[in-house]
Structure 1
Amino acid sequence: MLGDRMEEEEEVSSGSSSLLGWVSKVKTMAWEAYKSKPISRWILLFLSTLGMLVAFPASSLLSRVYFANGGTSKWIISWVAVAGWPIPAMILFPTYLFFKTSPTPLNLYLFLSYVFLGLLSAADNLMYAYAYAYLPASTAALLASSSLVFSALFGFLIVKNRLNGSIINAIVIITAAVTLIALDSDSDRYPSITNSQYIWGFVWDILGSALHGLIFALSELIFVKFLGRRSLHVVLEQQVMVSFFAFVFTTIGVVVNHDFQGMVSEAKTFEGGETAYNLVLIWGVITFQFGVLGATAVLFLASTVMAGVLNAVRVPLTSIAAVILLHDPMSGFKILSLVITFWGFASYIYGTSPGSKLSRS
């Protein structure tokens, strides 16, 4: 009996020392990483992280505010998502002047790739616009997390990225979280939204997430096939070109649908008046582009894994902010779905981490 107790105490002591050793190792690695980079890099990384964790959720909430306060045009809110394409262009052009970089040669295949991705992005934004028109922002954000599933699947099929046990586990977990929301649809549907509209919002959100995953895989394929290199200014070039063509296609849709003319009457009936209407659209333009810029910068200042971590964090941030600021309904099923989604992201991040045994298998 005494011997068994001593063995248990030794195991606990061993486990505690292992945990302390792991924490000490992580602290040492973090300190060494901090010392290896200039302070300016860490400031940029902090600002980029802030862009992802603040700008992206803000743009999602503003989309819902637009529809909740009287906005009706799905084309207008999808146009807002790409109208800020000159913002990354203003950051890109100085890199040519001050960092001695040169524009990537634009051949026919690369040009057509940008046009095609621009068309897909325009369609993707329109699908998400329908989702935010019919769903609470918290629900739409949770459903949009399924884009990670589609990114992994399309990455495997198109770019031949590896799928390991941890990533497959993440796919199953996030799919289960989405299913939970579908089973609990009656608890978070707004009174003004019909059952048919809610279902279509759900469908458009999933389709938009699937298309988002396809765009991500095709973007990676362009780097592999046509560019052969990946640097910050090259990614900014792609962002500017794809956003520009998405802007062109979306503008055509707005014009054909006569939605620009409807903005005047829409602003007059908007809750809060014309000033509130204009502010929602302007801040929607700014926050969306700064969110994309933040994600781009994190990828190159840190790693894909850190971008994945931040992407995982912004899902609950958006959902919680929607509950607090927009008074979104938050049922027990939705809370469970939120926890499961975060678990799925953690599994995916572990599977793609360079230090993971699974990522090397």
Structure 2
Amino acid sequence: MTSLPLIQPESMEAEPSIPSDSLRAQISKFSTMLTEAHKRKPIHYWILLVLSILAMLVAFPASSILSRVYYDNGGQSKWIISWVAVAGWPLTALILFPVYFISKTFPTPLNLKLSLSYIVLGFLSAADNLMYAYAYAYLPASTASLVASSSLVFSALFGYFLVKNKVNASIVNSVFVITAALTIIALDSSSDRYPSISDSEYIMGFVWDVLGSAFHGLIFALSELVFVKLLGRRSFIVVLEQQVMVSLFAFLFTTVGMIVSGDFQGMAHEATTFEGGRSAYYLVIIWGAITFQLGVLGGTAIIFLGSTVLAGVLNAVRTPITSIAAVILLKDPMSGFKILSLVITFWGFGSYIYGSSMGEKSS
């Protein structure tokens, strides 16, 4: 994302030669920069970037809504929802193999350390998805989405301690602001708790959501370490490779959990008791897997086609999109405190994006 320089107020000592149409000049400069950027990139770059943005803004909120639809219509299994989150991993592999052919690149060789890192990240990802599944079982989708935005806080903290990422005042401010938003949600728990959910279940849903966000931040930081320490580079192909391998191992770990818990065998029975019918049950499962994986692919592509700041902007935007969609489609309660928390969360994202953009400029 290209940010416009701030327009400085006129000083008493300023020379009268400063043009009065400075805003028009700034707009013209910005338009010129966009035109030059467009000319530097081929058309397929922009097509892929737009598709990635749409995938992130549509797929992630859709997967969150589908998770809540599953529970609202009689679904009970947390393992099934966590399995759905990684069941779409072949989609990434199907995209990766043609990229090898087009770019005339060979797969990155696997060694023991790299393989172990993928296994560990896969296990953490499986645990992360299971925690989020518990969160969506007990919390409204709008609330779960707001609480999950705390992953930004943990990404900043783990990035600072593990990867030695630079932290400036704006990023620190975002950590405190988003923490304040979480506190508001926690104090307003009585206004959005479903009648069928007990107080203890709501609290556990909140706790699992925060823990899942912490794991998400840890996974992000550890992935950065893999790029720095083991791969020595970070390209679009390398990130796709990591996504395929981590999702594959997460899928294997979750599949074992499904088998041990007996939820695979229980899917057929659950489908017959689903309020929307058997076809609706499997439609939710299939579309949940597809939308979640498309969201992951969109985020991955944006980071390496655009920038981490653009990805941060879209992360900030998809939080209110999910909350608003949950209110409209699922009739989620939206109290004044939740609206305040949403506004504060958006402010925290803005502060983080500004701090990250300053870091990108300085580097």
Q: TM-score with structure 2 length normalisation?
A: 0.93
- Of the three residues 355, 359, 362, the one matched with 1:360 is 362
**CA deviation after TM superposition for structure 1 residue 35, in Å:** 2.3
Which residue does the alignment assign to 2:296? 292
CA distance in 1 between partners of 2:43 and 2:113 (Å): 40
1:309 aligned to 2:289?
A: no
Q: 1:263 to 1:35 in 2, by over 3 A?
A: same
- Of the three residues 216, 236, 241, the one matched with 1:237 is 241
- Of the three residues 254, 263, 269, the one matched with 1:265 is 269
Which residue does the alignment assign to 1:340? 344
**CA deviation after TM superposition for structure 1 residue 358, in Å:** 9.2
Contact 1:64 1:137 in 2 (8 A): yes
Which residue does the alignment assign to 1:39? 43
Contact 2:166 2:359 in 1 (8 A): no
CA distance in 1 between partners of 2:286 and 2:156 (Å): 33
1:22 aligned to 2:14?
A: no
Contact 1:164 1:359 in 2 (8 A): no
Deviations 1:18-48 (CA, angstroms, capped at 9, x unpaired)? 5444333322222221222122211111001
Aligned residues: 352
Identity %: 73
CA distance in 2 between partners of 1:311 and 1:135 (Å): 20
Q: What is the correspondence of 1:112-131 to structure 2 with a 5 Å cutoff? A: 112-131=116-135
Unpaired segments ≥5 residues, structure 2: 1-10
Unpaired segments ≥5 residues, structure 1: 1-6
CA distance in 2 between partners of 1:333 and 1:258 (Å): 40
Deviations 1:136-178 (CA, angstroms, capped at 9, x unpaired)? 0000000000000000000000000011000000001110111
DSSP-derived class of the 2:87 partner: coil
**CA deviation after TM superposition for structure 1 residue 193, in Å:** 0.5
CA distance in 2 between partners of 1:181 and 1:32 (Å): 44
CA distance in 2 between partners of 1:46 and 1:20 (Å): 27
CA distance in 1 between partners of 2:133 and 2:154 (Å): 19
Q: 1:360 to 1:98 in 2, by over 3 A?
A: closer
CA RMSD of aligned residues (A): 2.1
CA distance in 2 between partners of 1:270 and 1:51 (Å): 28
DSSP-derived class of the 2:53 partner: helix
DSSP-derived class of the 2:243 partner: helix
CA distance in 2 between partners of 1:110 and 1:156 (Å): 22
DSSP-derived class of the 2:86 partner: coil
Q: TM-score with structure 1 length normalisation?
A: 0.94
CA distance in 2 between partners of 1:16 and 1:252 (Å): 68
Contact 2:158 2:218 in 1 (8 A): yes
1:82 aligned to 2:86?
A: yes
1:158 aligned to 2:162?
A: yes
